[in-house]
Structure 1
Amino acid sequence: MSSLFLASQIFLWIAVGVLGVLVAALARQVGVLHERIAPAGALTLHQKVNVGDAGPSMTLTALDGAKVAIGGTRPGRSQLLFFLSPDCPVCKTLLPIIRSANGAESDWLDIVLASDGEAAAHRRLVMAENLAGFPYVLSETLGRQLGVSKLPYAVLLDETGRIASLGLVNNREHLESLFEAKERGVASIQQFLARR
């Protein structure tokens, strides 16, 4: 009986050792896969405009009546145009991230919220989401000139008014990839990774 117990214990420890080796190998493979998977970045849709093109230059009236200059030369300042809609749930989940980016990147970035449609619905969104500190413009022309077809969408204009980066943004990583693409001088994070 004791020899049977000893044999089962030896077999059990061998099985635990083999299992430990398999778990270590699996963990290594997960690490390798994690390194191979690149950050997604903002999805650039097939549109009429490309990075490096001159962005629109216009003055629009915000919901609060203030004049907002879109594009043009802005020494030392870039401008992020964030396109949203009051009935877009993903847009609403990104608003805390937009507020955070506004504070964190305020030394070089101005954020403008943009959309089109009925002003009353947008005013309700401004009140519900505490967006009074942001310029909020309604212009179908602006969206068309930038090829915005899906929301939420963001366009980053550089200091000279040229398009630095753009794309569909669904989370913080996508939004920050626009800043990263501008900093690295590429159209998208995917393009940067392809060069490596």
Structure 2
Amino acid sequence: MYQTEFEFMAGRPRPKYPERLFIGVFPGHETARAIDQFSRKFSRELGLTGSLLKVLRLHTSIAHVSDRKHLRSADAFAAELAANAVDIPPFELTFSRMGSFRGVPKRGRPLLHPLVLVADEGPVQKLYDVLGTNLRKFRFPIPEEYWPHLTLPYNEQFVPMRSIEPITLQIDEFALVHSELWLTKYNIIRRWKLH
């Protein structure tokens, strides 16, 4: 039997649709550790109180596929077909701004704002466009607009957007991920190398 709630959410059930599928890119181990140290330093300097994400969970989502009560093999299969059609070379993903996105109010919980690194426009947009076009063929509601970002902690404090010393990731693959919501657990279903 596995954990179904966080200690700080004792008594609260998992979301109605707790099984998420998304396609994302992950920084290499050393870059992820550097981002984590940057986030810790910045949070200390501003007195932010949110919990930092685990290093292994730092990522940039490319496309949200679905949220379901139970993981559906049909969703994963469609996402794999969409991903198989990607033909893009490796690229750099550069984050040059940081600040908070507005949080979404949730009944009975404090309003939390995600602190994010925001990426510059570049080849990541092409990856999004190709995956989005392919996923829409399977009737997944992929938005036309895309704001590539990497989430750090969630905080009650709102941090205005600001420029930072650029942080660059080398992206040579992307992955289909099953996220078990509120369990802070990611399961990589498949990876695709860029070429």
TM value normalised by structure 2: 0.25
Which structure's residues are more often strand, by fraction? 2
Larger radius of gyration: 1
Which structure's residues are more often helix, by fraction? 1
TM value normalised by structure 1: 0.25
